[in-house]
Each structure stands twice: as structure tokens, then as C-alpha cells.
Homo-oligomer: A and B are copies of this chain.
Amino acid sequence: MRHKIECTACTSINCFVKKYCTGEYLDKISTQKNQNFYKKGDYIFREGNTMLGIHFIQQGGVKVVTPNLNGREQVVRIASDGNILGHRVLGNDKYYFNAIALMDTNVCFIETGLFRDSCMSIPDFAYNLILFYALELRRTELRVKYHAQMNIREKVAEAFVYLNDVFGTNAATKTLNIELDRQEIGDVAGTTPEQVSRQLNDFENEKLILRKKREIQILNVKGLKNIVREYKIE
């Protein structure tokens, strides 16, 4: 059993609460929040379940997925340290997606009422939340565009650019800080594991990446980005 990390002691630099919530409300959140630990594969929440509050990833990685009709899962979003989770359902009562830990992950949970009170009491917190939503919305709509227009090669390239953005690589080895099987990569890219294999093969031949079983070294991010036409999430 891990001990709870208080907001004041938290090292998560990207945490929205830590950044914009101040004074008594930060204290309140710090004392009233729950913190849970999840192992790889654990569900943080499930589609259809009742939504009671907002989650913040203290440390780790999470995929937000929705089952598609071929028995596969489609990845809607990938989130890591400091990211907000479950913010889509604010104002609603049910989760619309599943959130699954991609690695060992620590998640803070703030009950809706307290979160609303913080928004109502700290204008700057509320306004920055609005800006955050605007950014998320823009990213998501660009994803609509991409998924509608990209071919397989581009989709797989985009998946790796995305994973690289969210998790980054080990500075020394250039190895991606997350290991996924071909199926999971396919879920992110929106294609089948077979196509992922073929594309990885191509990318390796083009010296964009290097495979060591499931470990993947990103040799040339720029090259991958070039494959993704008109890529312009800021």
C-alpha cells in the first residue's frame, strides 16, 4: 500500500490543479482527494458506470478506449502524467468510454462537487479549464479529420508521433517509453495488427524506427511527422 502524495509534495509539473488552483482550495483538494494505484491493464473507469468526479494522472499512462464492432478496441486518447481524465463527462452522470492503465499508474480523484466549487471560486482556474477544453476539442477535431483522410501508412506514422508526444523516448537509447503489442498499436492507429507489422517493416527499412521485439526506437521523428500530411496540432 502506497501512501498518498499531497498536492504540495507532488512533483507532477503538468498537473492542472497544481498549476491553477490556489490557496484554501488547493488545500481542500489535497486533503479531500482520493489517490488510487492501478497496474497495467486495470480499468480506471468503465463505459456506462456512474461518474462521481474528475481524475488526474499523478504518474503513469492511460488509454481511453471504446470497443468497436469487430471485437477490437479503438483508442480515443492517450494520457500521461498530469493529464485530466474523465473531464468529458462533466455535467453528465455516465462515463462514455473505458480508461485502462497502460503501465503502473497513480491517479488522483476529486469529487465533482469540490471540483465545481473550485471552478466557481477561482475564476482563473475556471478560465484556464475553458482554454484546456478548447485545446482538447481542437485536437480531437483534428483527429476526426486525420482518421477520415489518412491512409494506413499515415495513420501508423501518426500513432507513433502521438505516442512519442505523450510518453517520449529514453534520451540515451531513443527507445519509446511505452511498450505496446501490434494489436494495441493498431487500436491507436485505427487499423489491424497485420497492417501495423507491414508498416513497421517499411519504417524500419526507411530508417525511421528500429525494432527490438516490442521495444521501438524512434530514430527520426521528423521523418514520421513528414509522413503525416498537414500535421498541425500546434
Q: Which residues from chain A sit less than 8 Å from chain B, CB to CB?
A: 66, 68-69, 74, 76-77, 87-92, 96-97, 116, 119-121, 123-124, 126-127, 129-131, 133-138, 140-145, 147-149, 190, 229-230, 232, 234
Contacts and interface: CB of A to CB of B under 8 A. Distances in A.
Given A88-B134, A96-B138, A120-B123, 17 more contacts: A68-B148, A69-B230, A74-B145, A88-B137, A89-B138, A90-B131, A91-B130, A92-B135, A97-B141, A116-B127, A119-B130, A120-B126, A133-B133, A133-B134, A137-B140, A140-B144, A147-B148
A39 to B, nearest CB: 26
Contact of A137 (B137, B230, B232): B137
Q: How many monomers of this chain does the complex have?
A: 2
Contact of A148 (B74, B133, B149): B74
A136 B123 CA distance: 21
Given A123-B120, A141-B96, A134 B190 contact: no
Contacts of A91: 130-131, 134-135
Nearest to A129: B130
B130 A76 contact: no
Contacts of A76: 141, 144-145
A3 to B, nearest CB: 32
Given A89-B138, A141-B140, A145-B76, A120 B127 contact: yes
A91 B67 CA distance: 33
A144 B144 contact: yes
A68 B119 contact: no
A134 to B, nearest CB: 4
8 A-B pairs with the lowest CB-CB distances in the bound complex, closest first: A133-B133, A91-B131, A126-B126, A120-B123, A90-B134, A140-B140, A88-B138, A68-B149
